[in-house]
Structure 1
Amino acid sequence: MNTSYFVDNQDCFKRQACSNVPSANTAFYPNRIDCPSRGGNSSVTPSLASSQVAPETSLRKLAQNKMLQGDYCEAIAIITCLLDRHPDNANDYNNRGFIHYQSGELDAALADYNKAIEINPDLAAAYNNRANYYAAKKELIKAIADYDRAIDLNPLHVRALINRGITLRELKLYDRAIENFDFALRLGQLQGQAWKERGRTHHLRGDWNYALADYRRALPFFPEGRQKQQIQAWIDEILSPFQF
């Protein structure tokens, strides 16, 4: 019942790139074992990336679009070509790690996050991404340490705050989890996610009235889809014993 959802980051593939993350308990990530990306040998992308008329920002945007389309091989190949140009770009290692993570290549993702942090030890987004990797692997203490580092570097890192709260909840440290969601709400960003996760924390702790209030606050922030359905299912779970 305690499904975690690690929040995505909207600034992926910009120059100050990416902090992500999908659910630690997502059941399936397609693993593109036929992907040619490790050698950067895509039949399309390297020729584009090697062109002097292809701005790097455009290539990052193209990689992002390929990833959103599920073409992880091509997205990784594009970022690999960018790294061939600039092998010390921590943001691109972070971006490539994110794509690897999305595609299910978790070990490759960790290697890229580690490289990003080696190049730029102050890249908060990479610590948040690596923490999500550790959370997905249920290495929760390592995850907390990386979320702490991300927040030390950027105290307004709302995604890291929410993700740290989720991980503290996994450890059943409910009061500390709620402190993180409260701070995230005060910052005024990703409020739907913060209300949702605070509600889930109250729910698991047995504070059902608080949980219902937070779930109902969260609902208007989400379009129709998986997350809204999940919140409604939790509301129904609380109310079902009282329905006759």
Structure 2
Amino acid sequence: MTLVEASVPGDPGRFGGALGVLGGMGPLSSAEFLRTLYACPWAGPEQTRPRVLLDSDPAFPDRTEAIRLGRVREMTERLENRLRDLLDRGADRVVVVCFTAHHFLRLVDPALRQRVVSLVDVTAAELALTSGRFLLLSTEGSRQARVFEQAPGWDAVADRVVRPGRDDQALVHRLIYRMKHEGPLPDEVLPPVDRLLRRYGCSGVVLGCTEFHLVSRELTARYGPDRTVDALRTLALRLAAGPAVAAG
């Protein structure tokens, strides 16, 4: 699903559907996505905002561990059950608020998968609108599974996306799990990200784990909106803009 198509659920009044959000991986990032969505500059009164169906399920197995241990069937079946439930309850499109979980989406029922707005695809499309080198901040699981590299359009931007070295990747992974447990930690996250950008000669960051959405406002204020690729923020803004604006 393209970025333009992802904007369709943004106005149930024109569209007639609801946006499903499959979260809980972790729960704070999916809750923050809803805050971001409703805080966007929507036109009209609050009644024009979209209906959102949130299924926040923190009991999902750890996605990085599931990749390492090969727990494919368990993850795939759980994703299918949750997606089917959201669609049965009236969702027209579903956002899965976990990049690492996108590894398993390619294995779910195609009829369900086509209703999912891919955050990885949104990221690739947003990167295509930029220039310069970007540092990819992601979990070790999504890196091992090459979640981003398998996205349509990634080849066109891959030469401008930098992966941290092994020790720095481990640091990024630790920061992600700190935020999972403790919430936004901008004072702890921003200084090491600054150092990594200098180390790898990058001018921007790709928030390749949804936990970084917890500090997206601080990162955007520091580097600028065109230097901070955040698929959740992009999707929320596109939804608020409406199909006509998004298509432009």
Higher relative contact order (CA 8 A, sep 6+): 2
Query: Which structure features the higher share of helix residues?
Result: 1
TM-score normalised per structure 1: 0.29
Query: Which structure features the higher share of strand residues?
Result: 2
